[in-house]
Structures are given as C-alpha cells and as structure tokens.
Structure 1
C-alpha cells in the first residue's frame, strides 16, 4: 500500500529535497505543489492524503492559509517555515498542526520524515485511555488521533483492566489517578504484578497537587507521569518518546531471541522458554528440508534464503499456537501443547502443503523429513535429541516422511 503525502513548498530546492526524502520509502508517494492554488486543485480532485508537509508562507497565501486548507480536509499537517516565532507556533499547534519545523538544516527535513514515519507506525498501535472525566478523555483521544493512534476508552480502572485482559494488542495505557472503583496508581501496581503486561507502556496523569504522586507512579511501574493540565506538545513528546524507548527494547530483545533470516525464534530461546512448556506435556518435533544443499548449488544462496523464509511462514500458518525455532541451516524445531496424534496430523497436513507448492520465484519444489519424540522425556533437551535421531532415521529410510520411533 502506498501513502500519498501532499508536499506544498514554493522553493524548488526545498521541494526537491522533500521529494527525495519522501520517495526513499516505497510506501510513500510524494504529491508536489509549488503554491496554494495547486494544492487547492489537488485537494479538489478528491484524492485522499495520508499526511501533508506545507510551507507556512506561500506566494499566493502569505498568512498560513494552506494550513487551514489541509486541516479542513482532516489531513495531518506538518508545517515548515523559515523563521521561528513562538506565539505563531503555539497558535498553529492549538489549531491541530502536528509539528512546527524551521528550515535550518538537513536535520530539520529528516525530522519531518521521522514524524511522517511515526504516523504510519501509529496506525497499528492501540492506546487505552482510562479517565473518568468524559471531557478529559475526549481531549486526550483527540490528541492521540491526531497522530493516528487507535484509541480505546475506559471510564475507570476496573473497566481498563477488563479491556487490557481482553485485548492483548493494546500497547499503551494512559491512566488518570483519581478514578472510581480502581484508581490509576492501584491499576499500575496490579498490571505490573502480571508478567503479561511487562511490555505495556504506561503513562500516569493527575491534577492533584501531591508532588510525590509522580514518584509513586513511576516506582510502582509507570513509564512516565504528566501533571494536568498539560500542554499538548509535551503530551505528544512524552507519548512518542516512551513508545520509541519500548520499541528499542523490543528490537534488542528480538536481536537476542530471533533468527535474523526467518524471524523465527533461535535455538537459545527455544531451550530457555520451551522447557516450561514441555514439562506441561508438550510434543517436540524436528524438521529438515530434503536436499537443501542442492537448491543452493543449483539456484544460489539468495533463492535458498527465500525458500527458508517461505517454508518458515508456512510452518507458522499451520502451527500458529506452537513454539517454533530455526536451529540453523535448514533444520527447524517445534514444541506443541497438542496431543501426539494432533501434532502428527498437523505435520501430515504441513507435508502435503509443502509437496503441493513451488517456492520462490524460481519455483523450487521440495520435501521435508520429520522426527517426533512421542513419549515424555525428563527434559526438553532429551526430547529434542530423540526427535533429531528419529529425523536421521527418516532421512536414512528415504526422506519425505515422519518417524516417531527408531526404525
């Protein structure tokens, strides 16, 4: 999907720079206008725009009329200007402009693109606002929706807790302190006791004058705290900053736990996290692509890599509730809480899917061999070793088959 970005700028040099920066992402399509009239004509065509980057002072609209034009169309607006004026900045932000950027250096234009990219990311982020005041809740919702967040509302801490339990995709909670039933401080404490919510970004709010409240919130597990009334520019900065910090932590965690090619878990993560799952009675299976070296030798390593990625995606589709890891090369392991019969049934289904399709643009046909440890062992390591031995038996006896015991 391509997102159309309206760029309105009278300077040919700046317009060229912005066109280059916007075009660097294949997801963005710049629509260039050099004056107010051109922008007006583009908007009159009825095409939708994901965001706009506009020069405040245009030859045919010297007093910022372009801002009113795009905001009337409910298009998120980033303003560029040659001069900084604090009172003008405040006025523009109060109108609903996302940011006010001076054309000082290349960094300024990079900052504009950072805001646009953030808007794209925010579309997939759910934010829960827990606030008993409908006025305050609406104000916060408007601020978040300016940045294209998906906003969910709760009237009190108890309702917020229920919505968090029901929707695992909520990434951020913004909670007032003074709420009925369960207040914000107690809500934070309850959430941080549950490992499921360890990555939830929490920002506390309060109009109360107790200076120790912010410290209490943060010590209980909140990521940040804002005292009401707050200025919406500060609010946006805190929200974005905390989200980016959490995303950085998730990136670091992914680098440690995920295979960089297939995005499956790696061997280390499987043994660290899979032991507890296995001890509850799970089944371990080891899979290996047949004659994978021949694919690399015939088509090259790029096609081999694409094959591994597509094979991994197919494995996830069939075993979407299992813990799946790439052991290295063309070998994979999965731990499933299903019964042995159910796991074998799904593996048969998976092998049929592999046989019935061609992979990558090179249209490569492949099969796989599988070993399954069907009896409970003392440790996950023992189970995987046995499954690996059965995989060897599957290879030795003709490949493209499942083996559950020594043959």
Structure 2
C-alpha cells in the first residue's frame, strides 16, 4: 500500500513538479490541495491516512502559515516549502515540530523534499536507543527522533543501555550522554567497540561539559560523531541522518561484494569467507552445522525453451521461496542454478525432513508468468569436517549422485 503525501501549494507549476516527483517514487501517492480549504477537506476525507505533508506557508486563504498548524494538529510530519527565507520564522517552525524548512530557490529544493520524504520512510524501520540519565533531555531527544519517524528506545544509564543492546540486535543507532551513573557514555562506547557484534552500530556521543577534548576522546574510543549540548534541531537531524546514511552506504558497498545481484542471496565469495567462520565456530562449540547443496533439475531446458529472462525470473522466485522456508539460515547462490544452505539450529533428522518436504512442495508450485513447473535434487553432509570446503565437497558429491540416478532426489548419506 502506498503512503499518501499531502501536497499543499497554490502555484500550479510548483504543484505539478511536486506531483510528478512524488509519483515517481513507487512508495508514495500524491494528494493535491491548492489552498487551506482544500487541505482541510483532504485531511477530513483521509483522516489518519497521510504519511507526510509538504506545504507552502503563504496560501491565498491562509497567508500566515496556518496550514502548518492544521497539519501538525493531525500528527502528520510536515515539510515546509516556501519562497521566503526568514531565520526567525524558521526557528519558530522548527520549535513547533516541522520536519524541515526548505526554500524554493532552485530545482534542487524539490529534490531535497524528495530526499527528506525518502528518509522519513526508511526511518520507520530503524531503531534508535537514547541513553541519557536526564529525563528532560531524554524526552527532548526522543521527540526530535520521532519527528523523523525513528523507533525510539530509552535507557537511564549505560548499564541499562548495554542490557537493551544485548537483547535487541535490530538497534541501528545509539545516542549516549557522557555523564551517566553506573557506566558513563565514554566507557559504554569502549565496551561496545570491543564486541564484534556491535561493529556496525552507529554511536553519537553527547555532553554538556565544556572540555573541548571530550569530542576527540569519544571519537577515538569508537563513536561515529559527537554533539555538544545544547544543540539546534537542524544540527541534530543533520548529524543523525548523515551517520545513518553513511552506515547504509557502507552496507551497500558490502552488498556489492557479498550479494548475488540477481537472486539477492549471498554469493560464493561470502559463503567461503563468512560461512567458513561460522563453520569453525560450530566446530569449536561442538555443534553440528549441516551443509545442503540444491540444484534445479533440467534448468537449461527453461532457458532454451523460454529464454534467459524467464530463466532469471525463475531463479529469483525460487530464491525468494527458499528464503521464506529457511529464513534463519545462511543461503548462498553457489553458481548457476545451484544453491548452498548452512543449517545450525536443528538435528540432522529434522533437517532431512524439512528439505524432503521442501522438494515435495516445489513440485506442486508454478514459477514465473509462464507457469513453469520444476523439480530439485539435493545432497547433504551433516558429519563435521575439518573445513567448510570439505563439507561442501561431500554434499556436492551426493547432489550429483542424486542427479545422475534420476534427479528429484535428496541424498544425505
């Protein structure tokens, strides 16, 4: 379902530009209003349905920015787009709770509007932990983050923050004050950076203390950024968004190296690096890590009969189904129509049952718009070997035995 964006603008040209840009994003649907009365009518007709609003301050029937109050009263994130820059007015609007104040001084202004909307949509899935012993400061930071649609968790001290981070692996950012009881912010950062699990956690330090070396101390200990209190709304939002975007860029770079571009599964390179590390950890902890190799039978016939584009679509749909059945396992595209699955959370007997059920279900399904039916062959190794490569070699031999003895089989010994 698309997110409705209310666009309130009396200029037909500007409204047309905004409508076009918003329509280009598959996640958004523009709803147009040419004046305050239109905006009021739209809000009443679509109560609770709007994801955000982009509004002009000076409308024919509301010349003093009344539309901003109208939108904010409905608890809708509001972006102000205006032709006049007034610093006092900007501060007043930011204090009211608008997300951003953008002047219509060039075509890049409209691109910035779209960037803010895109950021708001992404932030809905991002958890931020605020560690701050002052309830007033913590509430202020929470409100600023919620204006940008972040999910906010709170901790009153470093020890509580550490416990929350240990329990919730989905937290992407920590904003921590320096001066806290039990564990201060600086020590909290050092503890987190010594744990490999938190290497990608974005950390922003805060402090009201006057020591100019504190920012360097925080960053040298592993923080991504530092803010001295009190800070401006815009500075806070810019720092938070900049650091989140830097983390996303880093993840994109990693994905280019580790993710198969077609299926979005891990690639062979990732399997033999991170998979090997996982395998060695299983050996060290005396846990079984089963290795399963899967191959789509007669896949060449699909390409020859229907073309490579349909073959690619089949691989994409097959991969998505494989992930839906085994969501917690490491799944890689080994090459072509061959896949590798590492399973560490269950007995070998249960693994065999699950894959036999998977292969049975695959035969009942159709793939792509051409309604193609397929079968799969598989081979498994559940006896721990010195290396993952050796375990894969055994599973691969069993896979090819399955293919050479009639296909549509799963061989595990």
- Shared fold (TM-score, shorter chain, > 0.5): yes
Which runs of no fewer than 5 residues in structure 1 stay unpaired? none
Size of the alignment, in residue pairs? Answer: 405
Measure how far apart 1:46 and its partner are: 4.2
The residue number in structure 1 matching 2:372 is 364
Is 1:85 the equivalent of 2:92? no
Measure how far apart 1:162 and its partner are: 0.7
Q: Deviations over 1:52-97 (max 9, x none)?
A: 1111111111111111111111111111111211111111111111
TM-score, L = length of structure 1: 0.97
Residues 53-92 of structure 1: pairs in structure 2 closer than 5 A: 53-92=54-93
Q: Contact between 2:289 and 2:382, CA under 8 Å: does it hold in 1?
A: no
Q: Bigger shift: 330-339 or 216-225?
A: 330-339
The residue number in structure 2 matching 1:315 is 322
Which of 399, 404, 408 is the equivalent residue of 1:391? 399
Is 1:335 the equivalent of 2:342? yes
Q: Deviations over 1:314-366 (max 9, x none)?
A: 22233233221101210011222244323222211211221122222322111
CA distance in 2, matches of 1:146, 1:194: 31
The residue number in structure 1 matching 2:138 is 137
CA-based RMSD: 1.3
Residues 1:255 and 1:208: Cα distance change in structure 2 (over 3 Å): same
The residue number in structure 2 matching 1:236 is 237
Q: Deviations over 1:84-114 (max 9, x none)?
A: 1111111111111111111112111000000
Measure how far apart 1:43 and its partner are: 1.5
The residue number in structure 1 matching 2:361 is 353
Q: Bigger shift: 192-201 or 77-86?
A: 77-86
Residues 8-407 of structure 1: pairs in structure 2 closer than 5 A: 8-47=8-47, 48-279=49-280, 280=283, 281-337=288-344, 338-405=346-413
CA distance in 2, matches of 1:194, 1:329: 37
Q: Deviations over 1:137-156 (max 9, x none)?
A: 11111101111111111111
Runs of 4+ off more than 4 Å: none
CA distance in 2, matches of 1:372, 1:132: 53
Q: Contact between 1:207 and 1:228, CA under 8 Å: does it hold in 2?
A: yes
Measure how far apart 1:19 and its partner are: 0.4
- Secondary structure at the aligned position of 1:265 is classed as coil
Q: Contact between 1:282 and 1:339, CA under 8 Å: does it hold in 2?
A: no
Q: Bigger shift: 345-354 or 273-282?
A: 273-282
- Secondary structure at the aligned position of 2:366 is classed as coil
Q: Contact between 2:133 and 2:155, CA under 8 Å: does it hold in 1?
A: yes
Q: Deviations over 1:289-317 (max 9, x none)?
A: 00111122222222222221221122223
CA distance in 2, matches of 1:5, 1:322: 38
CA distance in 1, matches of 2:217, 2:148: 29
Q: Contact between 1:369 and 1:395, CA under 8 Å: does it hold in 2?
A: yes
Q: Contact between 1:284 and 1:334, CA under 8 Å: does it hold in 2?
A: yes
Q: Deviations over 1:184-241 (max 9, x none)?
A: 1111111111111111111111111111111111011111010111111100000000
- Secondary structure at the aligned position of 1:50 is classed as strand
CA distance in 2, matches of 1:141, 1:288: 50
Which runs of no fewer than 5 residues in structure 2 stay unpaired? none
Q: Bigger shift: 372-381 or 238-247?
A: 372-381
TM-score, L = length of structure 2: 0.95
CA distance in 2, matches of 1:55, 1:13: 13
Q: Contact between 1:128 and 1:174, CA under 8 Å: does it hold in 2?
A: yes
Q: Bigger shift: 143-152 or 40-49?
A: 40-49
Q: Bigger shift: 243-252 or 327-336?
A: 327-336
